[in-house]
């Protein structure tokens, strides 16, 4: 059945086009041009060893063939490696979270005088600037191979994250509670304990759990540069072309991360 | 006995917020301070317990000078002055009992404060006061689970726990509904006489000021322009204080927000 | 002052009241937790392979390392600059390319848009594997397959970013308002069109925020890929460390700090403009 044309269908002579996402045509086409130019420039200046790359797929086949099935023969090595990673993550989280509290207080503008605030912020920025792997290399160079370097690295890593977020949390507390504590005649520390800490406690716990999880992942990686843990075991396996063992290690890492995520999620729900 | 002489408070080089105030408060009288927002009521109260630093003048509490105190001396003077806030300012996540005991922070050691091991005398006092105001059954409840009126009563107990020589109340009823407001005002009035405590109340609601207090002080633009009995507070006085601003019967404006200079924890 | 008010001091009449912050059961639990933690710490410290003399010497060692890194050596700045550029390319290209994979995966990993249970699990599986394997480990893998070089680096960053972007986008998709979707379906539009008109506009702000954030993270990640041979400034860094050329190391670290700061500045500008 053909629909009947009514008055509302009468041609109006008006056109409509969707207004483009970016209004200014210069900006719009400019962005597209820049993106294309960038892609061309990047791909042409980057060094690709095509010969080696073309060997890639057959290599991949060989590696995956060698990796499957995963070998758990050297389970004791696996166990020691993971145990060490756990220990590094555990100690680093404790130390890091413990140190983060005073540093966060120092780095919160509303509870710290200016010079202390600047010091606190600097500590946090320094802790965050470098990838934990780089920090691990430096600590290894300084204190030698082994878990000590790993613990120091991850402690710094924890401070960079936890202290920063905690400081931001402190800066957003309800100031009235602090005023009330001042008005009863409490000193600086008592004001912190009663007026500030109860307000940031839930966040602190959440952050600590998140950081434990984060440190567990990171501990697997700092081992790659010699700072202890399963990362070292993994590097050895790769170096010896023991791909089936390496695959086993990888599977364990994934499994542990999943479990840890699950636990930390559960604990966060309980404690919130 | 509170004696304020020529109190001036100026922020930076702006116009002074308090312009040479004189006030004397005796024994166990309940004095209300009325005035529009910005008249300086909040600033006046905060100058007394040092939350705001006075620029010049003198404030004497029972002979002790309160202006220009620092550190330990400031804290010692603050613990003798109890304060009740408009927003209650309770520690939400702590229990009512902990909030009440926090009134003793000026008296106990850091260790006692941290471990919550307050002396038994403090605990007795806490229970007695809580029963007096009717919140003893809430002792272990989290403070944020109470209603507005109940929270303000907790705040009053906290202030009384300090064994203060004077009680300051900064718009204690502005966040409460009319019926609860009256309960709180009545409570303050009775406590003042039971404990022989002078009470200074900042208040918007002139009707309540008339009903529950013995003396009304009217402020406008940092100066005191009325000081007398409630029965003498007539329409002329009202106009002098609020004239051209806003009607005090409506709940208008928000009283003295803390300016950035004062947001330092340095005690 | 000090004079007890008669109203309050009925000590003789009232029973002795006791108060403690935690009831006995809570106390036991708290002490239990403290004890367990303490035992865990002691066991860990004793069991872990720590050579204590080195620990006490650590501050000295750190200080002497710092001294060896001063002053930074600038003669090789040209090579460093090129390597930094390479690092930026790795981060940028991989972030761009990831979008094409992460978006479809996030679509099937979101409970409200996935076609069926199987695709939901597939999507989730892809995202979890991607996230659980650290970028460096991906890099190790790709270096073994494709040899050392930027390709390994780009692929490594890509594979890690899929999980990050996919998870956050999936969450964004799960949080959309259902009503526009319903409305579009009611007009008889196909699945694709419903996505285009009802879902895409709602997740756009989140999308930009996530991409910008991931680019920032990728810049940091790309700086270390070279340590396992996957291109970028990391290669120079590893080289200098192997040669104990600490002063060059210092320069490279400075360059990395500058890059990170620049990256943060650019991302905060982008965030203001785009979101």
Judged by a CB distance cut-off of 8 A, whether residue A182 touches chain B is yes
Pick from B2, B29, B62, B1: nearest CA to B192: B29
DSSP class of residue B142?
B
> What is the C-alpha separation between B243 and B36, in angstroms, rounded?
9
Domain ranges of chain C: 78-274
Q: Are B93 and A113 inside 8 Å of each other by CB?
A: no
Q: Is it the case that residue B255 has pLDDT exceeding 70?
A: no
> What is the C-alpha separation between B149 and B183, in angstroms, rounded?
8
Residue A237 included in any domain: yes
Q: Which band of pLDDT confidence, cut at 50, 70 and 90, is reported for residue B169?
A: very high
Find the closest chain A residue to C43 by CA distance: A87
> What is the C-alpha separation between A155 and A145, in angstroms, rounded?
17
Judged by a CB distance cut-off of 8 A, whether residue C216 touches chain A is no
Q: Are C132 and A144 inside 8 Å of each other by CB?
A: no
Residues of chain B with pLDDT > 70, as a percent, come to 91
Total domain count, chain A: 1
Q: Is it the case that residue A19 has pLDDT exceeding 80?
A: no
A27-82 pLDDT, tens digit each: 888 888 888 998 888 888 888 888 888 888 888 888 888 888 888 888 888 888 89
Q: Are A185 and B264 inside 8 Å of each other by CB?
A: no
**Residue B266 Cα, gap to closest chain A Cα (Å):** 7
Find the closest chain C residue to B161 by CA distance: C8
pLDDT of C5 = 45
Q: Are C17 and B62 inside 8 Å of each other by CB?
A: no
Q: Are C145 and A88 inside 8 Å of each other by CB?
A: no
What's the CATH number for C78-274? 1.10.3720.10
3-state secondary structure of C197: helix
DSSP class of residue A172?
T
Q: Which band of pLDDT confidence, cut at 50, 70 and 90, is reported for residue A259?
A: confident
Look at the block and give the residue holding tokens 């304060």: B83
Neighbours of chain B (3+ CB pairs under 8 A): A, C
Q: Mean of the pLDDT values across residues A99-126?
A: 92
Q: Which band of pLDDT confidence, cut at 50, 70 and 90, is reported for residue B83?
A: very high
Q: Record the tokens describing residue C106, joined without a space.
A: 């996030």
B30-34 and B199-202 beta bridge pairing: parallel
pLDDT of C39 = 94
> What is the C-alpha separation between C218 and C195, in angstroms, rounded?
29
Q: Are B90 and A177 inside 8 Å of each other by CB?
A: yes
Q: Mean of the pLDDT values across residues C225-237?
A: 91
> What is the C-alpha separation between B176 and B192, in angstroms, rounded?
21
Q: Is it the case that residue B184 has pLDDT exceeding 90?
A: yes
Q: Using CA of residue C42, residue C45, residue C47, residue C52, what is the dihedral sign?
A: negative
DSSP class of residue B9?
E
Nearest to B51 among A179, A186, A195 (CB): A179
Judged by a CB distance cut-off of 8 A, whether residue C144 touches chain A is yes
Q: Is it the case that residue A5 has pLDDT exceeding 80?
A: no
The residues that bridge with B95 in the sheet, in sequence order, are: B142
For testing the chain B interface, which of C4, C13, C17 should be mutated: the one with the most B CBs within 10 Å? Answer: C17
> What is the C-alpha separation between B156 and C158, in angstroms, rounded?
61
Q: Mean of the pLDDT values across residues B78-105?
A: 94
Pick from C44, C17, C19, C20: nearest CA to C30: C20
**Residue C113 Cα, gap to closest chain A Cα (Å):** 24
pLDDT of B262 = 44
CATH number at residue A225: 1.10.3720.10
Phi first, then psi, for residue B30 (nearest 5°) are -105, 115
The residues that bridge with B228 in the sheet, in sequence order, are: B216
Q: Which domains does chain B have, with CATH numbers?
A: 28-46+78-250 (3.40.50.300)
Q: Record the tokens describing residue C110, joined without a space.
A: 């979101």
Nearest to A190 among B90, B92, B105 (CB): B105
ipTM above 0.90, yes or no: no
Judged by a CB distance cut-off of 8 A, whether residue C128 touches chain A is yes
Q: Are B22 and B224 in contact (CB under 8 A)?
A: yes
Q: Are B91 and A189 inside 8 Å of each other by CB?
A: no
Q: Is it the case that residue C4 has pLDDT exceeding 50?
A: no
Q: Are B68 and B8 in contact (CB under 8 A)?
A: no
Nearest to A183 among B83, B88, B91 (CB): B83
**Residue C45 Cα, gap to closest chain B Cα (Å):** 28
Pick from B18, B58, B47, B261: nearest CA to B9: B18
C249-272 pLDDT, tens digit each: 999 998 988 898 888 889 888 888
Residues of chain C with pLDDT > 70, as a percent, come to 94
Residue A148 included in any domain: yes
Cis peptide before B242 (omega within 30 of 0): no
Q: Are C18 and B123 inside 8 Å of each other by CB?
A: yes
Pick from A129, A133, A161, A159: nearest CA to A227: A133
Q: Mean of the pLDDT values across residues C71-86?
A: 90
Q: Record the tokens describing residue A108, joined without a space.
A: 């919160």
Q: Is it the case that residue A23 has pLDDT exceeding 80?
A: no
**Residue A170 Cα, gap to closest chain B Cα (Å):** 13
Kind and range of the H or E run holding A205: helix A197-222
Q: Are C65 and A142 inside 8 Å of each other by CB?
A: yes
Q: Using CA of residue B196, residue B198, residue B201, residue B207, what is the dihedral sign?
A: positive
Q: Using CA of residue B142, residue B146, residue B150, residue B156, what is the dihedral sign?
A: positive
**Residue A187 Cα, gap to closest chain B Cα (Å):** 6
Q: Record the tokens describing residue A21, joined without a space.
A: 């996402």
Q: Is it the case that residue B252 has pLDDT exceeding 50?
A: no
For testing the chain A interface, which of C137, C150, C222, C262 should be mutated: the one with the most A CBs within 10 Å? Answer: C137
**Cβ neighbours of A161 (radius 10 Å):** 19
Q: Are C127 and A25 in contact (CB under 8 A)?
A: no
Residue A214 included in any domain: yes
> What is the C-alpha separation between A168 and A124, in angstroms, rounded?
12
**Cβ neighbours of C75 (radius 10 Å):** 10
Nearest to A191 among B51, B107, B267 (CB): B267
> What is the C-alpha separation between B21 and B10, in angstroms, rounded?
13
Q: Are C133 and A250 inside 8 Å of each other by CB?
A: yes
**Among B121-135, B222-236, C188-202, the range of highest mean pLDDT:** B121-135
Kind and range of the H or E run holding C124: helix C117-132
pLDDT of C17 = 77
pLDDT of C2 = 45
**Residue C19 Cα, gap to closest chain A Cα (Å):** 18
Query: Under 8 Å CB-to-CB from A40, ≥6 apart: which residues?
Result: none
pLDDT of C22 = 83
Judged by a CB distance cut-off of 8 A, whether residue B87 touches chain A is yes
Q: Mean of the pLDDT values across residues B77-86?
A: 94
Kind and range of the H or E run holding B167: strand B166-170
Q: Record the tokens describing residue C124, joined without a space.
A: 């989730």
Pick from B5, B11, B3, B20: nearest CA to B222: B20
**Residue A69 Cα, gap to closest chain B Cα (Å):** 54
Q: Are A137 and C92 inside 8 Å of each other by CB?
A: no
Q: Using CA of residue C205, residue C206, residue C207, residue C213, what is the dihedral sign?
A: positive
Residue C42 exposed, middle or buried by CB count within 10 Å (0-12, 13-18, 19+): exposed
Kind and range of the H or E run holding B25: strand B18-25
Give the end-to-end CA distance of chain C in Å, rounded to a whole number.
60
Query: Under 8 Å CB-to-CB from C202, ≥6 apart: which residues?
Result: C176, C177, C180
> What is the C-alpha separation between A99 and B156, in angstroms, rounded?
37
Residue A35 included in any domain: no
Rg of the Cα atoms in chain A: 28
DSSP class of residue B205?
-
Q: Are C178 and C112 in contact (CB under 8 A)?
A: yes
A126-173 pLDDT, tens digit each: 888 788 999 999 899 888 888 999 999 999 999 999 999 999 899 989
Residues of chain B with pLDDT > 90, as a percent, come to 73
In degrees, rounded to 5, the angle at the alpha carbon of residue A166 between the alpha carbons of residues A163 and A172 is 145
Q: Which band of pLDDT confidence, cut at 50, 70 and 90, is reported for residue C139?
A: very high
DSSP track, C125-183: HHHHHHHHS-HHHHHHHHHHHH-SSHHHHHHHHHHHHHHHHHHHHHHHHHTS-HHHHHH
Q: Which band of pLDDT confidence, cut at 50, 70 and 90, is reported for residue B245?
A: low
> What is the C-alpha separation between C268 and A68, in angstroms, rounded?
45
User: Is C120 or A266 the better-scoring residue by pLDDT?
Assistant: C120
Q: Are A176 and B69 in contact (CB under 8 A)?
A: no
pLDDT of C273 = 81
pLDDT of A271 = 60
User: Is B64 or A64 the better-scoring residue by pLDDT?
Assistant: B64
C34-68 pLDDT, tens digit each: 999 999 999 988 888 778 888 888 888 888 888 98
Q: Is it the case that residue C6 has pLDDT exceeding 50?
A: no
> What is the C-alpha separation between B193 and C238, in angstroms, rounded?
80
Q: Which band of pLDDT confidence, cut at 50, 70 and 90, is reported for residue C1?
A: very low
Mean pLDDT, chain A, whole residue set: 87
């Amino acid at each position: 059945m053909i629909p009947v044309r009514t008055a509302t269908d009468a041609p109006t002579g008006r056109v409509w086009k969707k207004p483009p996402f970016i209004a200014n045509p210069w900006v719009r086409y400019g962005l597209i041009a820049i993106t294309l130019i960038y892609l061309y420039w990047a791909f042409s200046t980057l060094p690709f060893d095509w010969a080696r790359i073309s060997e890639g797929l057959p290599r991949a086949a060989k590696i995956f063939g060698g990796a499957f099935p995963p070998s758990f023969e050297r389970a004791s090595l696996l166990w020691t490696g993971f145990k060490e990673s756990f220990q590094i993550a555990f100690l680093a989280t404790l130390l890091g979270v413990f140190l983060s509290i005073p540093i966060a207080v120092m780095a919160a503008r509303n509870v710290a005088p200016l010079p202390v605030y600047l010091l606190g912020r600097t500590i946090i920025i320094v802790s965050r600037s470098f990838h934990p792997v780089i920090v691990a290399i430096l600590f290894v160079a300084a204190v030698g191979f082994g878990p000590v370097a790993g613990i120091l690295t991850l402690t710094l890593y924890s401070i960079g994250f936890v202290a920063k977020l905690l400081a931001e949390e402190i800066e957003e507390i309800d100031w009235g509670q602090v005023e009330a504590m001042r008005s009863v005649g409490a000193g600086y520390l008592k004001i912190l304990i009663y007026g500030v800490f109860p307000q940031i406690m839930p966040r602190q716990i959440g952050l600590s759990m998140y950081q434990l999880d984060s440190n567990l992942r990171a501990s697997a990686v700092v081992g790659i540069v010699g700072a202890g843990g399963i990362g070292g075991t993994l590097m050895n396996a790769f170096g010896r072309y023991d791909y089936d063992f390496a695959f086993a290690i990888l599977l364990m890492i994934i499994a542990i991360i999943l479990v840890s995520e699950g636990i930390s999620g559960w604990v966060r729900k309980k404690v919130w | 006995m509170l004696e304020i002489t020529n109190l001036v408070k100026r922020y930076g080089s702006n116009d002074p917020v308090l312009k040479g105030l004189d006030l004397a408060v005796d024994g166990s009288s309940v004095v209300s301070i009325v005035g529009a927002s910005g008249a300086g009521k909040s600033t006046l109260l905060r100058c007394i317990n040092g939350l705001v630093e006075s620029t010049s003048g003198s404030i004497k509490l029972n002979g002790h000078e309160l202006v220009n105190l620092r550190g330990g001396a400031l804290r010692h003077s603050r613990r003798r002055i109890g304060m009740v806030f408009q927003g209650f300012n309770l520690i939400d996540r702590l229990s009512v009992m902990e909030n009440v005991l926090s009134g003793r922070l000026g008296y106990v050691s850091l260790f006692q404060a941290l471990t919550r091991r307050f002396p038994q005398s403090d605990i007795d006092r806490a229970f007695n006061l809580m029963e007096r105001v009717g919140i003893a059954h809430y002792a272990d409840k989290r403070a944020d689970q109470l209603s507005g009126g109940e929270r303000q009563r907790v705040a009053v107990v906290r202030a009384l726990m300090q064994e203060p020589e004077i009680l300051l109340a900064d718009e204690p009823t502005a966040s409460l509904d009319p019926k609860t407001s009256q309960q709180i005002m009545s409570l303050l009035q009775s406590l003042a006489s039971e404990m022989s405590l002078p009470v200074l109340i900042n208040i918007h609601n002139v009707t309540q000021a008339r009903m529950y207090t013995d003396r009304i002080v009217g402020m406008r633009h940092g100066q005191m322009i009325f000081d007398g009995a409630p029965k003498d507070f007539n329409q002329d006085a009202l106009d002098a204080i609020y004239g051209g601003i806003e009607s005090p019967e409506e709940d208008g404006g928000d009283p003295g927000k803390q300016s950035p200079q004062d947001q330092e924890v340095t005690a | 002052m000090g004079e007890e008010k008669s109203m309050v001091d009925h000590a003789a009449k009232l029973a002795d009241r006791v108060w403690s912050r935690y009831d006995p059961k809570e106390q036991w639990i708290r002490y239990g937790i403290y004890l367990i933690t303490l035992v865990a710490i002691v066991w860990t410290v004793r069991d872990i392979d720590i050579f204590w003399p080195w620990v006490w010497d650590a501050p000295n060692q750190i200080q002497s390392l710092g001294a060896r890194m001063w002053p930074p050596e600038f003669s090789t700045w040209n090579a460093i600059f090129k390597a930094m550029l390479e690092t930026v390319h790795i981060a940028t290209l991989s972030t761009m390319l990831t979008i094409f994979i992460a978006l479809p995966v996030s679509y099937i990993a979101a409970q409200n848009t996935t076609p069926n249970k199987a695709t939901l699990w597939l999507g989730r599986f892809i995202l979890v594997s991607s996230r659980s394997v650290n970028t460096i480990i991906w890099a190790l893998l790709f270096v073994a397959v494709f040899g050392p070089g930027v390709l390994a680096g780009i692929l490594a960053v890509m594979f890690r970013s899929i999980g990050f972007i996919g998870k956050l986008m999936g969450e964004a998709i799960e949080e959309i308002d259902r009503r526009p979707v319903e409305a579009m379906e009611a007009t008889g539009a196909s699945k694709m069109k419903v996505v285009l008109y009802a879902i895409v506009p709602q997740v756009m702000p989140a999308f930009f925020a996530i991409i910008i954030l991931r680019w920032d993270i990728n810049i940091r990640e790309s700086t270390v890929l070279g340590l396992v041979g996957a291109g970028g400034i990391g290669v120079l860094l590893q080289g200098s460390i192997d040669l104990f050329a600490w002063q060059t190391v210092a320069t490279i670290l400075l360059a990395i700090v500058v890059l990170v700061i620049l990256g943060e500045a650019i991302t905060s500008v982008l965030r203001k403009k785009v979101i």
